[in-house]
Amino acid sequence: MSATTHGNIALPHASTDSAERRLMLGFLVFGFSALFIGASIGPLQALNYGGINLYPYLRPLLQTYYQGLTVHGVLNAYVFTFFLACGLLVYLPARELGLSPNLLLWRACFGLMVVGTLMLLVGMFDNSSSVLYTFYPPLKGSALFYLGLTLLVVGSLFPLPILLDLRGRWRRQRPGEITPLATYMSLATMLMWFLAGFGAAAELLVQLDPWVLGLTQTVDPSIARTLFWWTGHPIVYFWLMPAYVSWYCLLPKQAGGKLVSDPAARMTFALLLIFSLPVGSHHQYLDPGISPVWKVILTALTLSVALPSLITAFTMALSLEYGGRLRGGRGVLGWFTALPWRNAGVAAQVLAMITYIFGGAGGVVNGSWQLDNIVHNTIWIPGHFHLTVGTATAMTFMGVSFWMLPHLTGRTLLMPRLALASAWLWFIGMSIFAFGMHWAGLLGVPRRAWVSYMPQEAYDRVYGLAHLPLGLVALGGVILWLAVVAFYLVFFGSLLFSRQGTEEPIPFAQAFHRRASYAIGQPVGDLPGEPTPKLARALEHLGLITAFTAFITLAAYIPILWPMIRNATQATGWNVW
Amino acid sequence: MTDNSPSAAFEHGFHTVAERHERIWLFISLALLSLLMAGAMYFVVADYGVVVKTAGYQRHPEDAATGAFAVDQGLMRTGPNTYAVHMLAHLWQWTPSPLHVPQNAEITFYITSSDVLHGFEVQGTTINVTAIPGTIGKVTYTFRHAGSYNIICNEFCGIEHQNMLGRIIVDPANHS
């Protein structure tokens, strides 16, 4: 069995291997450093809603709540997630296939995103671009902000050619076989992100970059907003799908079992590729300028995107159950308590999944047009996405870092009990915080408002009825601060002060009816005559699926954009923060 | 590791049951989503007034300040029990505000912005419209309860965003 375990990692050449590890470590450390800054600011915003205004004490570092919120959103939602996705979605497939990725492209990806991030940091910390992470024009920040964002987005697309090259080389050596799962999922994610990128690329390159450089004088806010959400909704799947890769391809092994359904995993990703694209305008249910007929269609498409996540809930629960039963769990819920809860990497990801159940349910509410009327732009919405990207994704990545840091550095994880504590603190803090936010949102408290800076009389008159839930938001924020401290003591401590340990392999999980390893250079192993399910075979045609997705995306967006283009607005820029 | 290694029979049995349960789960999921869709459509149709519609466009957003939205016309009577109001969002105020409206009357709000994006939210109601510079939105609502309602800007619009509040006062029907 130990031979099989080590059979899961393929070591091509020692030198390229260590170069890949260093680069992956670069993505991991840079991404988590961005999260460190962003997450440290977060609780200030939670306290703001509790009526506590700490910003006057933070000058000159942070001038205003809105500046802090811009930094928080950009670093956490774009920089952190992009670096993790662009690292993991190359590193894991390369190791799964036993091949070296194109290091030049991967380094260029890293370099572009680093430069973009530094430009963003300058543009945000000098308070010239406190436009929040949605940067809706005609709010107009500094050129550094938009150009930095452009570089970050362009850089994040580089893993696609790297993956196509990896998959092509693997197929030539294994003709007739279907793509191994982690590679399939990573490729589906990057194809989705490639199509999604057109929206932001068009908004930035055609509208905003020329505008902030002074080449054009005006901008159309509706078109910009629509293009933003073309990317802005699929982006949530660019946050989630790398976490799903860990849930499907790694976590079952860490939990002591196997992935119970490889075809279901592929179907999930194919459906996510298709349905995440045409639904972006559901963020504009309450915008004039879009026909109600299209909003009906968007509702149907949006509810469809819940399906792959519902399949994920089933497959993941079943895979965990399998692992738990092998570990001796009995009865209806015995398998759940029998999971390796002392392993911080597993605990963080299972807690992330539990949170995601509530995040997903809230998402169905947001996606339902009539219910969105109640919650749109209230703090229900950040309550929702702190459960999804803020916990399901972030805590999964934290869980991944607990095995990946030792794997990449050869050093042991420092203070594993504190690592476990950080996962629980994050889970508890975020649950309280998000519960308060959902509740206060139903009472009409708007998102992104510096309410602690209002006159006390106005705060009490408008938000008095939300005192209790807003207090919970603040309390959750304080607990999250503790979680951040605990996590980063472990993360940076392990990076800097830990001692040499034993080699930690990548915990690739075997799936039912699939081989333990598909790496080139590894023996093909048992189950030689495995029948490939028809579904998995059909889903191999990722090119066709992508073309179909591109077609329905255009079909969804042309009728929405056409009236906007015909009635174009010439809005001038505003710098009002 | 051998004591933890699954017997082939257990794995086979687990897999067989799993496949059946997977089909059932898929069916439940699809049924659930279909019901939600039907529910969404029913409520949207039943409460069509609150659906945001498009009432017009303006090439230059600042023209809103010289057009129909220019003068504070307050509440305009358009029928026996119907009224209209042109609500302009601008840094960082709502005009007209405070606005008096009669209880149980059908009020149509025309909403736009003359500068940046704003959000027209009336706390405690389903009124929630993005005020987009250059586009005029429209919703219809009937206030069933008398009292004072807060207008809250719910789309970030700059440094005074949190203070961009307005008020709608619904006067009891028998008094107006």
- pLDDT score for A11: 47
What distance in Å separates residue B95's CA from the closest CA in chain A? 19
What count of CB pairs under 8 Å joins A to B?
205
Q: How high is the pLDDT of residue B8?
A: 77
Are B135 and B119 contained in the same domain?
A: yes
Chain A residues lying within 8 Å of B111, measured CB to CB = 288
Residue B67 and residue B96 share a domain: yes
Residues A542 and A192: beta-carbon distance below 8 Å: no
At residue A14 the predicted structure's pLDDT band, cuts being 50, 70 and 90, is low
Specify whether B116 is located in the same domain as B142: yes
**Tokens 């375990």 identify what position?**
A5
Same domain, B30 and B91: no
- Cβ of A569 within 8 Å of Cβ of B162? The answer is no
Tell me whether A254 touches chain B (CB under 8 Å): no
Say whether A574 and B2 touch across the interface (CB within 8 A). Answer: no
Q: Among B130, B148, B163, which would you mutate to test the A interface (most chain A Cβ atoms within 10 Å of its Cβ)? A: B130
Q: For residue A386, indicate whether it is catalytic.
A: yes
- In this predicted structure, what is the pLDDT of residue A17? 86
Task: Name the percent of chain A lying above pLDDT 90.
Answer: 85
- Which two structure tokens, joined as six digits, stand for A244? 């799903």
- Its ipTM equals 0.91
Tokens of A368: 């339902």
Structure tokens at A41: 């600011």
Chain A partners of B30 at a C-beta cutoff of 8 Å?
A: 307
CATH number at residue B133: 2.60.40.420
- Name the residue of chain A whose CA is nearest to B62's CA: A571
Task: Verify that B90 and B171 share a domain, yes or no.
Answer: yes
Which of A129, A140, A287 best tests the B interface by mutation, with the highest count of B CBs <10 A? A287
- For A516-546, what is each residue's pLDDT tens digit? 889 988 766 555 456 778 899 999 999 999 9
Q: How many CB atoms lie within 10 A of CB A201?
A: 17
Where do the domains of chain A lie?
A: 2-519+535-566
Which range of residues forms the domain containing residue B166?
Answer: 49-175
Distance between CA atoms of A290 and A297, rounded to whole angstroms?
Answer: 12
Q: Is the pLDDT of residue A227 over 80?
A: yes
Q: What integer is the mean pLDDT of A70-76?
A: 97
Among B29, B46, B63, give the residue marking a domain's end: B46
- pLDDT at position A525 is 59
How do beta strands B165-171 and B99-102 pair?
parallel
One domain for residues B28 and B80: no
Reduce the DSSP state of residue A570 to 3 states and report it: coil
pLDDT value at position A27? 98
Per-residue pLDDT, averaged over A189-218, amounts to 96
Determine the pLDDT at residue A12.
Answer: 47
Q: Give residue A527's pLDDT.
A: 54
What is the rounded average pLDDT of the residues A20-29?
A: 97
Q: Are residues B114 and B66 in the same domain?
A: yes
Report, as ranges of residue numbers, the positions in chain B whose pLDDT lies below 70: 1-6, 71-72, 175-176
Residues A351-359, mean pLDDT to the nearest whole number: 96
Contact A61, A55 (CB under 8 A): no
**Out of B18, B135, B156, closest to residue A289 by CB:** B135
Q: What is the predicted pLDDT for the residue at A147?
A: 97
Provide the CB-side half-sphere exposure for A34 (13 A, CA): 27
The minimal CB distance from A512 to the residues B15, B61, B150 is found for B15
Q: Residue A38, SS3?
A: helix
Judged by a CB distance cut-off of 8 A, whether residue A551 touches chain B is no
Instruction: Compute the mean pLDDT over every residue in chain A, rounded to the nearest whole number.
Output: 93
Distance CA A287, CA A293 (A): 13
Domain A2-519+535-566 indexed as CATH 3.20.20.100: no
- The pLDDT value recorded for residue B1 is 37
pLDDT at A501: 83
Chain A residues 279-298 within an 8 A CB cutoff of chain B: 284-292, 295-296
Q: Which has more confidence, A79 or A523?
A: A79
Instruction: Say what the pLDDT of residue B22 is.
Output: 87
Candidate list A384, A407, A438, A514, residue with the active-site label: A384
User: Which of B128, B140, B164, B27 minimizes the C-alpha distance to A366?
Assistant: B128
Instruction: Name the band, by pLDDT with cuts 50, 70 and 90, for residue A2.
Output: very low
Tokens representing A349 are 């990801």
What pLDDT score was predicted for residue B5?
53
Q: What is the mean pLDDT of residues A23-34?
A: 98
Both B36 and B60 in one domain: the answer is no
Contact present, A227 and A209 (Cβ < 8 Å): no
**What pLDDT, in 10s, does the model give residues A163-175?**
999 999 999 999 8
Which phi-psi region, left, alpha or beta, contains residue A176 (left: φ > 0; alpha: ψ -120 to 50)? left
pLDDT above 70 as % of chain A: 96
Question: Is B40 in the same domain as B81?
Answer: no
Catalytic pick among A386, A438, A514, A515: A386
The nearest CA of chain B is from the CA of A127 a distance in Å of 12
What percentage of chain B's residues is helix, strand, coil (to nearest 5)?
30, 35, 30
* Shared domain check, B112 and B63: yes
pLDDT above 70 (res A339): yes
- Which positions in chain A touch B14 (Cβ < 8 Å)? 260, 322, 325
Shared domain check, B160 and B144: yes
By the 8 A CB rule, do A241 and A269 touch? yes
Number of domains observed in the structure of chain B:
2
Cross-chain Cβ contact A288/B163 below 8 Å: no
Asked if A377 is an interface residue toward chain B (Cβ–Cβ < 8 A), one would say yes
Q: Return the residue matching tokens 């009490």.
A: A460
Residues B61 and B145 in one domain: yes
C-alpha to C-alpha distance for A307 and A360, rounded to whole angstroms: 11
Distance CA A529, CA A48 (A): 61
Locate tokens 């915990």: which residue?
Answer: A507
Please return the burial class of A566, using the count of CB atoms within 10 Å of its CB with bins 0-12, 13-18 and 19+.
Answer: exposed
User: How many Cα atoms occupy the beta-carbon half-sphere of A369 within 13 Å?
Assistant: 32
